[in-house]
Amino acid sequence: MTGKHPMTRSGYEQLKKELERLTQVERQKNIKEIAEARSHGDLSENAEYHAAKERQAYLEAKILEIGAKLAHAQVIDTVGMTSDKVVFGATVLLSDTESGKERRYRLVGADESDPGNGWISVQSPVGRALIGKQVGDLVTVKAPARTMEYEVLEIRFE
């Protein structure tokens, strides 16, 4: 992971909390699990010990991954931000021109995207199509299944 990666303040804080939970809670819990499994004797046939050691490897890899993400984060605070164009961190209300159905998306960094909750990466097809658009603009998004067209109804920052 090289260079800086854009991230909202809330996304950065969530990653910090996750790193703290992994290092302060999960790592300590895993240390106890390993010690408990060791106390059961022969390690060569001790399934609990091997499972605890696998969990340890997973936790350490996850800790390193999150640490790298935090180290390379370019935090962009969107609170109080204003713009008449869609930029990183904007929450955009769209209307599907075909169905009339409204969708709300927040443009965030790749590491914090959560499409199920409307948080989409600025690198996603929809995110890339929205950048620079204004209220009233039509946005065309080419997806594998079909081409979609949206109208930008609102741009705000949370």
CATH number at residue 69: 1.10.287.180
DSSP 85: B
* pTM, two decimal places: 0.76
**Residue 33: its pLDDT value, please?**
92
Q: Is residue 117 one of the residues assigned to a domain? A: yes
Which residues 6+ apart lie within 8 Å of 76 measured at CB? 6, 7, 8, 9, 88, 89
Q: Is 7 helix (H, G, I), strand (E, B) or coil?
A: strand
DSSP 122: T
Vertex 59: Cα angle to 53 and 65 (nearest 5): 140
Q: Is residue 57 one of the residues assigned to a domain? A: yes
pLDDT in tens, 19-64: 999 999 999 999 999 998 888 877 777 888 889 999 999 999 999 9
Question: Is the CB of residue 156 less than 8 Å from the CB of residue 91?
Answer: yes
Q: Look-up: residue for tokens 């931000």?
A: 81
- % pLDDT > 90, the chain: 68
**Residue 37: its pLDDT value, please?**
87
Could you tell me if 98 and 128 lie in one domain? yes
pLDDT in tens, 3-20: 788 999 888 999 999 999
Which residues 6+ apart lie within 8 Å of 12 measured at CB? 70, 73, 75
Q: Is 93 helix (H, G, I), strand (E, B) or coil?
A: strand
Could you tell me if 96 and 39 lie in one domain? no
Q: Phi then psi for 25, rounded to 5 degrees?
A: -105, -60
Q: Determine the straight-line distance between the first and last CA of the chain, rounded to whole angstroms.
A: 28
Question: Is the CB of residue 132 less than 8 Å from the CB of residue 115?
Answer: no
Last residue of a domain, which of 48, 76, 104? 76
For residues 52 and 58, give the distance between their C-alpha atoms in angstroms, rounded to a whole number.
10
pLDDT in tens, 99-123: 999 999 999 998 889 999 999 999 9
Could you tell me if 15 and 70 lie in one domain? yes
Last residue of a domain, which of 76, 99, 133? 76
Domain hosting residue 95, numbered range: 90-157
Residue at 51: amino acid letter: A
120 beta partners: 107
Largest CA distance in the chain: 70
Could you tell me if 64 and 10 lie in one domain? yes
